[in-house]
């Protein structure tokens, strides 16, 4: 009987160790997911910042962006194409951030920051015109979000520097 009791005590200790190991694995998995989400958020944000800054990294580019968004002067066809490329990058970054957010892979604060950036650029009449022409190239749920952002940007007070 004494060996049988030792066996039961050993089994009980083994079960406790197994349960403790499973709990530790659960916490480790959650921590790993948080780290992965953080790293994806940082990578996405750095990629967005790098691509956006590439449109302003020389005096000529910065001058063009100023004229495109803050001035009512006519733009050439090639300048309109450059403006369209920039807006496509900005809007696609928000679309990607929206997909990541829907899947719980990016922080809400970072997604919200993308919305703020899009709202800022859509404060320009040229940008809103570009959106109205190109909105059908984006997925339906995202189009609704962008339409609201564009409507809010148009209805809000004009941003300093944007033509009224």
What pTM does this model have? 0.72
Q: Who has greater pLDDT, 158 or 90?
A: 90
Whether residue 134 has pLDDT greater than 90:
yes
Looking at the chain, the whole-number percentage of residues with pLDDT higher than 90 is 36
Poorest-confidence range of 33-42, 74-83, 136-145? 33-42
User: Please, are residues 119 and 99 in contact by the beta-carbon 8 Å criterion?
Assistant: no
Looking at the chain, the whole-number percentage of residues with pLDDT higher than 70 is 95
Rounded mean pLDDT of 43-72? 85
Sign of torsion over alpha carbons 95, 83, 127, 67: positive
| Cα 112 from Cα 155, distance rounded (Å) | 19
Rounded mean pLDDT of 9-16? 92
Question: For residue 2, what are its two tokens?
Answer: 């004494």
Whether residue 39 has pLDDT greater than 80:
yes
Whether residue 162 has pLDDT greater than 70:
no
Rounded mean pLDDT of 111-134? 90
Poorest-confidence range of 16-25, 41-50, 137-146? 41-50
Spatial CA neighbour of 98 closest among 85, 114, 121: 114
């Amino acid at each position: 009987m004494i060996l049988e009791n030792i066996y039961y005590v050993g089994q009980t200790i083994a079960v406790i160790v197994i349960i403790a190991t499973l709990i530790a694995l659960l916490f480790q998995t959650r921590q790993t997911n948080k780290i992965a989400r953080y790293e994806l958020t940082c990578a996405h944000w750095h990629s967005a910042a790098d691509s956006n800054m590439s449109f302003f990294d020389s005096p000529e580019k910065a001058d063009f962006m100023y004229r495109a968004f803050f001035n009512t002067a006519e733009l050439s066809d090639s300048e309109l194409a450059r403006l369209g490329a920039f807006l496509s990058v900005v809007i696609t970054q928000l679309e990607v951030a929206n997909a990541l957010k829907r899947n719980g892979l990016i922080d809400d604060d970072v997604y919200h920051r993308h919305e703020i950036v899009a709202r800022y650029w859509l404060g320009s009449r040229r940008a809103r015109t570009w959106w109205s022409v190109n909105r059908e190239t984006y997925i339906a749920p995202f189009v609704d979000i962008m339409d609201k952002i564009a409507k809010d940007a148009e209805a809000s007070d004009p941003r300093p520097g944007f033509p009224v």
